[in-house]
Amino acid sequence: MLSATHIPVMLRESVSHLITDRGGNYIDATFGRGGHLKEILASISGTGSVYAFDRDPASKDQFEKAFPQDGRLSFSQAKFSDILAVMQTLNLVGKVSGMLIDCGVSSPQLEEASRGFSFKREGPLDMRMNPDEGFSAADWLNSADEKEISQIIWRLGEERLARRIARRIVATRPLETTIQLAGLVVKEYEFSGRKKSRVHPATKTFQAIRMHVNGELSELRSILLDGPKMLAIGGRIAVISFHSIEDREVKKSFQRLVVGTKLPRSIPILEEDKVASWRLIGKAVKPSIKETAVNPRSRTAVMRVIERAT
């Protein structure tokens, strides 16, 4: 059961940047708890529609509870890399006015101990957004070799003690719980003699393992490639990311579109897509000081928006 609430990040800014046609088709690629979705629905007209997606089965239950009967709305439990196929089935490729991607995990996912995302709550070491798919954090940590674990923690967590943490993981396994993993990282920090910081020592390690287990970077790359193919002229993509690694991907892919790299031809696209051109809408947007004070989770958020010009 999910219980915690989720405060949507840069709610007004993101939705006002997203909606250019009140009667258009919109995609909320990261339904979560529907915070952004609610605002999108309030901003479109009766003829608009929203296609909401989330890979987490718990989101489906949440959707059914929170949005019982709005004919403008539909939900599919699907991940980023499946969205294009769904939109093709609906014959909506090239007809989307806006797509919102709010990366990462939601507060309810983080706070539900049984999901295994939190270093503060005792739970099974799982960390999958969709527990019915792929391998859990424990499966991976208990079988991967030390070098691979170290590389992932370094690359996706930018954790300086990655090698030492990986060595300790391999020496301690099998690992079964979140607190076991968090405790082991804390110990490694103590041994290293590093100064204590405000941030919990296991933050980066957990982030890296979560990103790996969920293939978050490859999912993001996939939607950044597929998203533009779905847009109508004048349509926009807004991406909110929470880590510099993700923001770099978004920035790179938007720049590539703006300088005119052609779209891959692997899927059928509309005739006019062949001459698609793009423009950036403003610069990277960050949450206000007021927002970060109310919602510390928003501290690292960055939003970038691109528009299909032709």
Ligand X SMILES: C[S@@+](CC[C@H](N)C(=O)[O-])C[C@H]1O[C@@H](n2cnc3c(N)ncnc32)[C@H](O)[C@@H]1O
Closest to ligand X by CB, 56 vs 273, is 56
Angle between helices 203-213 and 146-157 (to 10 degrees): 110
Shortest distance in whole angstroms from residue 105 CB to ligand X? 6
Smallest gap from residue 179 Cβ to ligand X (A): 23
Residue nearest to ligand X (CB): 32
- Smallest gap, in angstroms, from Cβ of residue 59 to ligand X? 5
- Binding residues vs ligand X (CB under 6 A): 6, 8, 30, 32-36, 53-56, 59, 79-80, 102, 104-106, 129, 219
Q: In the structure encoding, which two tokens stand for residue 297, read together?
A: 């989770």
47: number of Cβ within 10 Å? 10
Beta bridge partners of 283: none
Q: Kindly tell me which of 36 and 204 has the beta carbon lying closer to ligand X.
A: 36
We find the least distance from the C-beta atom of residue 215 to ligand X, in angstroms, to be 8
The three-point CA angle 163-166-170 to 5° equals 140
**Least distance to ligand X, CB of residue 147, Å:** 27
Closest approach, Cβ 31 to ligand X, in A, equals 6
Structure tokens belonging to residue 202: 């296991």
Identify the sign of the CA torsion 25, 33, 280, 245. negative
Whose Cβ is closer to ligand X: residue 115's or residue 308's?
Answer: 115
Reference 31, options 70, 67, 72; nearest CA is: 67
State the Cα–Cα distance between residues 155 and 35, nearest whole angstrom: 31
Closer residue to ligand X in complex, CB, 53/154:
53
H or E element at residue 303? strand 302-308
- Neighbour count for residue 46 (Cβ, 10 Å): 9
- Residue written as token pair 């909401």: 52
